A and B are shown apart, each in its own frame.
Chain A
Amino acid sequence: MFNRDRWREILEVLTSNVGRTILTAFGVCWGIFILIVLLAAGKGFENGIRADFGDIATNTMFMWTRRTTKPYEGLPKDRSFEFKVSDVQAIWDNVPNLRFVSPRNQLGGFRGGGNVIRGIRVGAYNVYGDYPEIINQDPMSVTSGRFINHNDIKDKRKVAVIGQGVKSELYDKDEEVLGSYIKIQGVNFMVIGTYKKKNNDGDGEEAQKEIYVPFTAFSQAFNRGEDVGWMAITAHDGSSISELKHNIIDVMKTRHKIHPEDKRAVGHFDLYEQFNRVESLFVGLKAIAYLVGIMVLLSGIIGVSNIMLIVVKERTKEIGIRRALGEQPWSIKKQILMESIFLTIISGMAGIIFGSLVIYGINSLLDNTGPVDMFVNPSVSVSVVSGAMMILIISGLLAGFIPANSAIKVRPIEALRTE
């Protein structure tokens, strides 16, 4: 294989008609270039979408109550009900493989009125009553102080963790935040921490303007009693929340005396299902990239195969001489195959390099002009490149196969026949 003479010969053959070799190489080069660029563009799109999802735990569902639509056990329809704190334990008891079950309550909302006051400043923010686990379901980084903990829950401490957005609106730049008090709907809470969420889509600003307080303190301060506004439930990695959610909803239906067939009483949003839908979009994009790239590559390979056939035709006599001198048929076949693989790989490498340069160019353009919506860091991984190399080697083999066979099909006596 790594025979100096063989390689010399390959180079001699390929450089004997440089123009033709380059034109042939271009077909393969172009094919692999398209493949690489398409895959990178798909990856950029995927990265963009994934950034929109942020770090949120995707194996999660949200569940809230609505009015019943069917009478059941003597209760009328159109009845409204609330989840209770005891429902959380019931879910834990009845449904396996759950990682987090977080009951939540909320104040304010989109464009709500000014509900938070500090001194002479007023702001309108979402205020959540939460358990400490929420930080795993809706990840945020605590930039100063700490997040809510279980002692806060147990003691119903009136403490709050505020977002960077809240901080910048209610405080001066160099003012000490920790230990100060804010008044949420007339109740004073002590600020114990600030957070920042990694989120770069349109809601980014809104997400930094939230306030988290202990669930129990929230219930007490704002008279929620045992009520739970909604729940965020995350399953363990091994199992899918989309399958578990039916059990969870059934548990809720029994506990709240809802008709088993009542599909509307318990509202829910399955993040995992949405995520999977997007995930399959990525798979589809990748498939299209591979399909188009490989199709273009295929036409390049047919070009190589064609040229190799012509080369074999041109060298019929030479091959005849070699065989008369005692070269083994397999050796001739190997020679043709190696020429073809070599040509394919070299031109493929050129395509990969060219493609990488273009991707690099796009990236630096993106860096300079700022982020574009739904398109972040288009790139190809090493595994994709090595996959492309595999495709190249296989296609080089395929391209050389027919010419190599036709080369040894010629009988030496016919090749040597003098015209």
Chain B
Amino acid sequence: MIEIKDLHKSYRMGSNSLHVLKGINFTAEEGELVAIMGSSGSGKSTLLNILGMLDLADSGEYTLDNVPIKDLSETKAAQYRNKFLGFIFQSFNLINYKSALENVALPLYYQKVGRKERQEKALNYLERVGLKEWATHLPSELSGGQKQRVAIARAMAAEPKVLLADEPTGALDSKTSYEVMDLIQKINDEGNTILVVTHEEDIAHMCKRIVHLKDGVIVEDKKIEQVRAQQYV
């Protein structure tokens, strides 16, 4: 599903440049649930941004679902993001003047799905994250866990190939964190490919595979026995 070869990325900070990713090689199969771990500054967020086509690599190859991702215009990138990727952010990033339903429907709107169908689909996804009754509420009326679940529903709505979660539990207490992870595991059980960036060990162990990043290189890549979040909820 995802294939990365010898990925390099450096940022220029004034006169000296900061080499963040120093040759990353990585593959993820369909249906995998991968945790990307590392301390801050290890380059995990940069890697996720490149995977999410929000940032461009300096060199290296990136193939997503057999489509080579390179030389992207902004228009093309937007198209690919919409078609291939769902984002889940640490700070939820819901649009605060739109209701939960409208937020979830947004990616469908960009796919030019008709209004009625869009709302039906969005409501369906809200139901799957258990927030059907909250559809008309604004994000400000929701709790953190609820917001993140709306964000997950939104990421799912466009039926992307890959879900990218950047510290999805970073802003949540552990109980809601487990609820969110439970949801992510269930989505993964349905066969979706999910990448989770985290620095929390317990969260990482709820994935099926952990990739450790340190100073811009992968130092460890192992499959693990998944801890089900269900038992903590």
Contacts and interface: CB of A to CB of B under 8 A. Distances in A.
A124 to B, nearest CB: 84
A416 interface: yes
A416 B158 contact: no
A120 B110 CA distance: 97
A402 B69 CA distance: 31
A12 interface: yes
Given A5-B115, A413-B49, A326 B83 contact: yes
B178 interface: no
A418 B91 contact: yes
Contact of B74 (A321, A324, A329): A329
A21 to B, nearest CB: 15
Given A325-B87, A328-B75, A330-B75, A416 B82 contact: no
A16 interface: yes
A313 to B, nearest CB: 16
Contacts of B74: 329, 408
A413 B74 CA distance: 12
Contacts of B89: 416, 418
Nearest to B95: A318
A323 interface: yes
A328 B54 contact: no
B93 A416 contact: yes
Nearest to B155: A325
B54 A324 contact: yes
Interface string B162-191: 000000000000000000000000000000
Given A321-B95, A416-B89, A326 B75 contact: no
Contact of A326 (B91, B97, B158): B158
Contacts of B52: 324
A326 B82 contact: yes
B154 interface: yes
Contacts of A413: 49, 54-55
A329 B54 contact: no
Nearest to A326: B82
Contacts of A326: 78-83, 107, 110-111, 158
B21 to A, nearest CB: 14
B10 interface: no
Interface size class of A (residues with CB under 8 A): 20 to 34
Interface string B182-204: 00000000000000000000000
B134 interface: no
Nearest to B80: A326
Interface size class of B (residues with CB under 8 A): 20 to 34
A6 to B, nearest CB: 10
B115 A325 contact: no
A330 B54 CA distance: 17
Given A325-B154, A418-B90, A412 B110 contact: no
Point out which of A317, A328, A411 has the most chain B C-beta atoms below 10 A from its C-beta. Answer: A328
Nearest to B164: A324
A317 B93 CA distance: 8
Contacts of A408: 74
A328 B79 contact: yes
A236 interface: no
A373 interface: no
Contacts of B75: 328-330
A322 interface: yes
B106 interface: yes
B110 A331 contact: yes
Point out which of B80, B83, B95 has the most chain A C-beta atoms below 10 A from its C-beta. Answer: B95
Contacts of A416: 54, 89, 93
A277 interface: no
Interface in A12-41: 12, 16
A113 to B, nearest CB: 89
A274 B12 CA distance: 73
A4 interface: yes
A327 interface: yes
Contacts of A328: 75, 78-79, 110
Contacts of B90: 418
B91 A324 contact: no
Interface in A308-324: 317-318, 320-324
A324 B81 contact: yes
A330 B79 CA distance: 12
Contacts of B81: 323-326
A328 to B, nearest CB: 5
Contacts of B154: 325
Contacts of A323: 78, 81
Contacts of B111: 326
Contacts of B80: 326
Given A5-B115, A330-B75, A408-B74, A324 B87 contact: yes
Given A325-B82, A327-B110, A328-B75, A411 B54 contact: yes
14 contacts: A317-B93, A318-B95, A322-B110, A324-B87, A325-B82, A326-B78, A326-B81, A328-B75, A328-B78, A328-B110, A329-B75, A408-B74, A416-B89, A418-B90
Interface of B: 49, 52, 54-55, 74-75, 78-83, 87, 89-91, 93-95, 97, 106-107, 109-111, 115, 154, 158
Given A321-B94, A325-B110, A326-B78, 16 more contacts: A4-B115, A5-B115, A317-B93, A321-B95, A323-B78, A325-B87, A325-B154, A325-B158, A326-B79, A326-B110, A326-B158, A329-B74, A330-B75, A416-B89, A416-B93, A418-B90
Q: Which 9 A-B pairs have the closest CB atoms?
A: A326-B82, A413-B54, A326-B81, A326-B110, A321-B93, A325-B107, A329-B74, A327-B110, A328-B78
